[in-house]
Structure 1
Amino acid sequence: MSGSLPAALCAVAAASVLGTATVAQRRGMDGDGSGHLVAGLVRSRWWWAGTAASVGGLGLQFLALAIGPLIVVQTVMAVSIVVTALAEAVLLRRRPTPRRWAGMALTAAGLAVVLLALAPSASSLVVVPSATSIIAVTAGALVVAAVAAWHARVAAAGGLALAAATGLGYGVTAIAQKTVGAELAHGPVAVLVHPALWAALTVGPLSVLLSQHALRRARSVATAVSVIVVIDPLVGLLAGTVWFGEHVVLTPWSASAAVAAGVAVVMGIVLSHTEGRPPETGRGSSGGVPAPGWAARAVA
């Protein structure tokens, strides 16, 4: 685990930048009440600032993936939960309630315990997924995105479905990014002919778009981020062990601790999602739930 420290620190920086960028983008959504997502975002300086910060955060995440295990990087990205809550308090002027703080802390702590219990380490050999595997997971992510978009049209809790699809999309994008980084060793031609690059360019922007809808539909930014950062590292855990040759410690103790921590993560999400709307102190409806039907009009 100590050999993964540079990657973990880089992932913390990436999570901090991305968490703040997410809230900046959400603030950019507040000024447009027309229900037309893209037109409103293009006119928002806050959204552009958040988008620029997101690019920097993704660059840091790519660097972390290049130097460390996928499992470590994607799990450490859970730091964005706390950063998002702090940024939400500053930029959206929404003070998190004790219940929400407890939920976010429980989620982040649970993910940290999972990481410590499983003690992931990188493979000594460079292993990457096959082209067929990349195509398969990309197709799966696209199908889930389509189902989430449909669910958002007909269900009141569509924000959670969109957040789940976003988490899966980010996980698949991380797989593709790490594969691209490995293929760079073989030259630019190898990168261009491998489907990982095109998977990242397809699923990545789609996941960003899904996240915009998820943030608008979710009860709070922190709630949506909690769902995203739970699914994202789970995808990393599976991909890291199955495709990238990364190792985890599987003993009765570590498995029990990981399962217990997983339960804590779920409880944390429930705590942060089931509370009532927190008191607002100066931004009107900035933290409220959008009007029903917004996502249906925006996705259409």
Structure 2
Amino acid sequence: MEWVASHAFAIGSALLAAFFAAVGIVVRQRAIQAEAGHLEGAGAIVTSWVRQPSWWAGTLGAIGGYVFQALALAHGSLLLVQPLLVSSLLFVLPLGARFSHQHVRGRDWGWALLLTAALTVFVLVGQPREGHYRPPVPAWTVALIGSAPVVIVCVLAARRTIGRTRAMLLATAVAVLLGMIAVLTKVSTHRLAVHGWHGLLTVPAPYLLVALAVAVTVLQQSAFHAGALQASVPIMLVGEPVVAVLLGVVVLGEHLVVRGPGAVILVLAVAAMTAATIALGRDSASAATQSVGETAAVG
């Protein structure tokens, strides 16, 4: 329990980040899908986002989620914070039901309980440890070189497709970019703690963060607009922590403390987390799509 106590701030901040991220997901999904039902042409829909107060409210929620994510990463490793962000689905369920005036199904609560248990086991058994984070420039350089080609291929392929396939390709690009943002945030917070604001502003990491944030916003909204939320949401929510964890291990040298049978337990926990996240992502996306359809029909 000593390890848990020493990482309590990072865990609490990560859970708050998950909550605000869930608010952003639910509100922006409804705003974008509702607008898509009334407008023709992607250009008209994209320009309509900034005129919707609800979209801005969802964006503010997402920004709040990132602020708490940055606080969590300043006090904990990517291997600790990113899996905890998957718990946003636990908040998406009641929030989505509230907005759509529906009830959460028993099956969804079952998946939610499994996800909660798996996350708890992952944190307690794995006890993620910090990496070296030195030097920061090679870290973000390696992350960029390894991730950029995947994003480019997905975006170019998405331009030639429509519907579910387009949503999946854009969601994959979003997941990779969000994983990169997590790595750059970790590098930036470490740089700030060690070298101060001057040291942070003299490296490319914070400027790359701004550029990637803009790209993620556009691609994420485009994936939502594609209509197949059941295809895009699970990929984003599962892909982001997978990419961030892989980069954290390979690039930043983070690791888990696993001994004896703990390795088997950890594998089972990760498998349960993945299954629950995919199931909850599909169900929440399906509920959001149904809710928007009912709203459009009433209108």
**Interval containing the TM-score (normalised by the shorter chain):** 0.7 to 0.9
What is the TM-score when the length of structure 2 is the normalising length?
Answer: 0.80
Report what 1:119 is aligned to: 127
User: RMSD of the TM alignment (CA)?
Assistant: 3.2
Q: Which of 149, 152, 155 is 2:155 aligned to?
A: 149
Q: Tell me how far apart the structure 1 counterparts of residues 137 and 99 of structure 2 sit (CA, whole Å).
A: 42
Q: Does 1:14 align with 2:17?
A: yes
Residue correspondences, number: 285
CA gap of 1:56–1:115, structure 2 versus 1, over 3 A, is same
Q: Tell me how far apart the structure 2 counterparts of residues 259 and 112 of structure 1 sit (CA, whole Å).
A: 13
Point out where structure 2 has 5 or more consecutive residues left out of the alignment: none
Q: Tell me how far apart the structure 1 counterparts of residues 16 and 181 of structure 2 sit (CA, whole Å).
A: 18
- SS of 1:165's equivalent? helix
* Residue 166 of structure 1, CA deviation: 1.8
Q: Tell me how far apart the structure 2 counterparts of residues 107 and 180 of structure 1 sit (CA, whole Å).
A: 30
Report what 2:29 is aligned to: 26
Q: Which of 247, 250, 260 is 2:255 aligned to?
A: 247
- SS of 1:284's equivalent? helix
Say whether the 8 Å CA contact 2:234–2:281 is kept in structure 1.
no
Structure 2 counterpart of 1:247, one-letter code: H
Report what 1:238 is aligned to: 246
CA gap of 1:277–1:78, structure 2 versus 1, over 3 A, is closer
Report what 1:41 is aligned to: 49
Point out where structure 1 has 5 or more consecutive residues left out of the alignment: 289-300
Percentage identity across paired residues of the two chains? 26
> Deviation digits for residues 79-134 of structure 1, max 9, x if unmatched?
111112222112244544444554555455444433333211335xx634542331
Q: Tell me how far apart the structure 2 counterparts of residues 250 and 48 of structure 1 sit (CA, whole Å).
A: 43
Report what 1:5 is aligned to: 8
Structure 1 counterpart of 2:76, one-letter code: G
What is the TM-score when the length of structure 1 is the normalising length?
Answer: 0.80
The ranges of structure 1 where at least 4 consecutive aligned residues each deviate by more than 6 angstroms after the TM superposition are 273-276, 279-282
* Residue 19 of structure 1, CA deviation: 0.8
Say whether the 8 Å CA contact 1:106–1:267 is kept in structure 2.
no
Say whether the 8 Å CA contact 1:101–1:272 is kept in structure 2.
no
Alignment of 1:1-300 (within 5 A): 1-2=3-4, 3-29=6-32, 30-32=34-36, 33-34=38-39, 35-36=41-42, 37-93=45-101, 95-103=103-111, 105-107=113-115, 109-122=117-130, 127-152=133-158, 153-154=160-161, 156-184=164-192, 185-217=194-226, 219-220=228-229, 224-269=232-277, 271-272=279-280, 277=286, 283-284=292-293
Q: Tell me how far apart the structure 2 counterparts of residues 172 and 283 of structure 1 sit (CA, whole Å).
A: 31
* Residue 225 of structure 1, CA deviation: 4.1
CA gap of 1:130–1:210, structure 2 versus 1, over 3 A, is same
